[in-house]
Chains A and B, each alone.
Chain A
Amino acid sequence: EIVMTQSPATLSVSPGERATLSCRASQNVHSNLAWYQQKPGQAPRLLIYSASTRATGIPARFSGSGSGTEFTLTISSLQSEDFAVYYCQHCNNWPWTFGQGTKVEIK
């Protein structure tokens, strides 16, 4: 199975600053990658799919890039509601696997 590795594990950012989260796949997943946001006690929320397409209703401050094995989620100017855990997930072949998550916390 494909192993997804996210870095860093925790990112401390001040409101209004830019956050850059990384995700690496152990094999080529092309652009078959999604990003999710999860807040405590809630189900994950789809942010980005096909590596760079924002899901419906997702603010433009969220952007995704990359292909192959290296991917990035960028939050251009962090708002208070963006402090959460972010997961990447490949969907190139079964089983789909998730990264271990990056927690974005208030600095």
Chain B
Amino acid sequence: QVQLVQSGAEVKKPGASVKVSCKASGYTFTSYYMDWVRQAPGQGLEWMGMITPSGGSTSYAQKFQGRVTMTKDTSTSTVYMELRSLRSEDTAVYYCARVDGGRYHYWGQGTLVTVSS
């Protein structure tokens, strides 16, 4: 069965970077785009960007341009999302989600990133 397993919670200081991983299994890794979506405490869902696991092409939300990098490791079926220059407003749960023709049928369990001095 399809599974997306994310790395564990992180606590970071303002100005630091965080790198969250999402390991895919149960399907052909290179056949589906992967998106990253975040959710601040008590808030809604925010699309951050996407990566094509086959070629590694990326597209980022304008809000995160210059601060986010999404990468992939085909050998381990893992995608990564790195966010730099963290600020308190980046405290959120970060999800990876597989793109299934215009919808997200499969989601990771979420990774809480807390930014605090």
Interface residues of A (CB under 8 A from B): 1, 32, 34, 36, 43-44, 46, 49-50, 55-56, 87, 89, 91, 94-101
CA distance A67 to B61 in the complex (A): 25
Are A43 and B107 in contact, CB atoms less than 8 angstroms apart? yes
Are A94 and B45 in contact, CB atoms less than 8 angstroms apart? no
Cβ of B61: which chain A residues have Cβ within 8 Å of it? Answer: 95
B30 at interface, CB cutoff 8 A: no
Closest to B105 in A: A46
What is the count of residue pairs linking A and B with beta-carbon distances less than 8 angstroms? 50
Q: Main SS of chain B's interface residues?
A: strand
Interface residues on B, range: 10 to 19
Are A44 and B104 in contact, CB atoms less than 8 angstroms apart? yes
A43-B45 contact given A34-B104, A91-B102, A94-B50, CB 8 Å threshold = no
Q: What 0/1 readout, one digit per residue, does chain B (97-117) give for beta carbons within 8 Å of chain A?
A: 000001111011110000000
A49-B102 contact given A43-B95, A87-B44, A98-B47, CB 8 Å threshold = yes
Cβ of B59: which chain A residues have Cβ within 8 Å of it? Answer: 94-95
B89 at interface, CB cutoff 8 A: no
Cβ of A44: which chain B residues have Cβ within 8 Å of it? Answer: 45, 95, 104, 107
